[in-house]
Amino acid sequence: MNNLEKLFYFRGVSAEYLNYSAERIVVPHEIRVKLLEAVGYDVTDDEAVAQAVYELDALPWKSWLKTFNILRSGESEYLDIRVHPEEKTTSISYQITTEAGELLEGELTPAELPEVGEYYIDGIRYRAHRYPLAGLPLGYHQIVLSNASRKEQAVLAVVPPKCFEIGNGHSDRLWGINCQLYTLRSERNWGIGDFSDLMELIAGSASVGMDVVALNPLHALDMSAEDFSSPYSPSDRCFLNPLYLDPERIPEFWECQTVVSQFRSPACQKKLAALRGLTHVDYRGVAELKYPVYEALFQHFLAQEIELRTERAKAFDLFVQQRNDSLTRFSQHESRLDCQSLGVSRGTSTDPRFHQYLQWLAQQQLQQCQTLALECGMSVGLMGDLAVGAVKEGAEVQGNAELFCDAATIGAPPDPFAPQGQNWNLPAPDPIALQRDNYRHFIELLAANMSCVGAIRIDHVMGLLRLWWCLPGLAGGAYVYYPFEDLLAILCLESHRNNCMVIGEDLGVVPQELRSRMAATAVYGNKVFYFETTHDRQFKPPQDHQVDAMLMVTNHDVATLAGWWNLADLSLRAAMGLVDTVNELPDRLRQRRADKIRLLAWLRSQELLPESWLTDNSHSKVEQPFDISLCGAILRACARSRSRMMLFQLDDLQLLEEPVNIPGTHREYPNWRKKQAIETKALFKDSQILALLASTYRERKQ
């Protein structure tokens, strides 16, 4: 293997992959070369390539330890220490300082330990020796090794073998609802679903016995962008979107007479009523209404709390201190943006404390939602959603620029849904930079997103193993591999530190290696009802579903039940030019008709087909419009699934046809804007819906 091929290997640049049809696809050499150039290598300089290989392969053997070392509690509690032959009989002292501040000391002599590896550098045989180190508590600890001539410091991450699980493992069948928070309606919100609306949804869901409410990503968005609607194109995944705040639940709101007077004015009430009445969220209109109020409340907070050093001011200071450098980077980035277009004065907009204040309030209100869920008897409560990346211009990438490759973006290779492949226009994380930074950013991401929820869904969990890198102006791409076992170990640890279940979105082409490790570490899979079929397109019996998985009846990327049955999804795609109406649409319609017949047969096999749908000839029923009885039958059948968790969309209870999002569209369709048809309170007073939920509960729990 020449040095260039070695560099491909050590940088994780794949040479081939299996596509959606299990065909072996060879990555063109020029694409692989361009990917190396994208991360800064001059592949035309043989000496530079050789030096890069040396630094990635040989140089680490000159250090005793990796800078980040993982010990798996109860499984592999040991350190591998690499030594020069002259050091093998030399005593090495170590000091371990645990997170709790406990100091542990000891000595070791490499020659007395088992040898587990070797590497020759300039003819010198370096050896790796294994030192048992059991009994350390879970967490991130510091270790210092020293002898008479040298000293090294490293991180010891002691991790559990699996992620945290709620309840009695597979025996407890969880169920709940998934929704986009911004879609919620109420008589009091400001034109967008907020944390008070979420509390109302939690109370209603808990009252019918649900375990979980799953949400879209709540990440902070780039408020200076022309369009800041997509929760999957965030500015920073460590922080929250202030638009979800309920201003009236901020303590300063009712103390600030200027704000109260403005709020009660006819002009403001008229604007609020107009925003509430829209069928789609007007993000800019909501922001222009909320942000001037946030500014007034912040100024009141400075005068009445910060200046007087009250207990509330001290709580704010503690929050800022606890979030440390990440909040500093975020707030400084936000203070450089132009919030004046949202009605905020330059003085406030450029004050980092303003943005810290909003994050403090948002975390408080979100935590109150999770606290309510648990108090209402939910076993999980909220399920968060961690997006796969962040936009180039956002706070996360700009504040951690050294961790991202700004010359490449991530996406997906070609498949039947996107024959040209996908480019999500999100900067690619550099796997070597992540390692060299001791995974600081990844740890911060998990801790921030797990702190106020009982479960988290990781979008595109394949990113722990590999990501598809795209290069601007070039067709094609290649998979780049990541330090999978390290990332998975950290995920297990953070899951336990935050008592948070983990679900990995593993739809699409998934390597068996990933599925095996997910199963071994209690990272649950993510299934969607439409795709739970056999090789001949029959719907699987519920008892054949994957146990360690979350079954979603529908989600944000697929048609609603009513839209699927009534063919509204195909009509929409045809109208937008996403489906060839002459050559493709007729085949799609025929296939859907056959799938509808299979669905009715599946429900009949479960003895759940409603009376109004019973017939000796299923073909005669496929043109009948979708109704609440058929919806209830599908939910009841899915509730029988042996999958550990089962979720259904709030939209499906209302028989909504319009989808949340149509993948592959941007301006063609108002993605991430659609609201619910009726208010949340009304949903849980509707007798038909309550009967449907009661029957679903019985199937799931009794």
| DSSP per-residue codes, 543-587 | GGS-SSEEEESS-TTS--HHHHHTTHHHHHHHHTTSS-TTTTHHH
Burial class (CB in 10 A: 0-12, 13-18, 19+), 486: buried
> Which of the 8 DSSP states describes residue 223?
T
Q: Which residues contact 184 (CB under 8 A, 6 or more apart)?
A: 193, 194, 197, 198, 200, 201, 675, 676, 680
Roughly what angle, to the nearest 10 degrees, separates helices 46-57 and 3-10?
Answer: 40
SS3 (DSSP) at 607:
coil
Chain mean position to CA 74: 29
Burial class (CB in 10 A: 0-12, 13-18, 19+), 597: middle
SS3 (DSSP) at 216:
coil
Alpha-helical regions (H) of 208-341: 251-255, 257-264, 266-277, 283-301, 311-335
The answer to whether 122 and 112 have CB atoms below 8 angstroms apart is no
pLDDT in tens, 466-522: 999 999 888 889 999 999 999 999 999 999 999 999 999 999 889 999 999 999 999
Give the pLDDT of residue 618: 64
Nearest to 366 by CA among 409, 319, 426, 399: 319
The answer to whether the Cα torsion of 477, 482, 488, 493 is positive or negative is negative
SS3 (DSSP) at 380:
coil
The answer to whether 12 and 431 have CB atoms below 8 angstroms apart is yes
CA angle (371 as vertex; 370, 374 as ends), nearest 5 = 85
Chain mean position to CA 618: 40
CA 515 – CA 532 distance, rounded (Å): 16
Q: Write the single-letter amino acid at 507.
A: L
The answer to whether 566 and 665 have CB atoms below 8 angstroms apart is no
End-to-end CA gap in the chain: 61
Chain mean position to CA 672: 16
Q: Which residues contact 166 (CB under 8 A, 6 or more apart)?
A: 172, 174, 379, 380, 454, 455, 501
Nearest to 190 by CA among 70, 271, 306, 102: 271
The answer to whether 145 and 159 have CB atoms below 8 angstroms apart is no
pLDDT in tens, 37-60: 999 999 999 999 999 999 999 999
CA 679 – CA 15 distance, rounded (Å): 52
SS3 (DSSP) at 524:
strand
CA 604 – CA 596 distance, rounded (Å): 12
Burial class (CB in 10 A: 0-12, 13-18, 19+), 682: middle
CA 608 – CA 626 distance, rounded (Å): 15
Give the residue ranges of the chain where pLDDT is below 70: 168-171, 616-618
Give the pLDDT of residue 416: 77
The answer to whether 409 and 443 have CB atoms below 8 angstroms apart is no
CA 684 – CA 375 distance, rounded (Å): 19
SS3 (DSSP) at 407:
strand
Sole residue written with tokens 């009949």: 604
CA 229 – CA 286 distance, rounded (Å): 12
Roughly what angle, to the nearest 10 degrees, separates helices 352-375 and 283-301?
Answer: 100
Give the pLDDT of residue 582: 87
CA 234 – CA 396 distance, rounded (Å): 9
Give the pLDDT of residue 675: 98
SS3 (DSSP) at 623:
coil
The answer to whether 456 and 164 have CB atoms below 8 angstroms apart is no
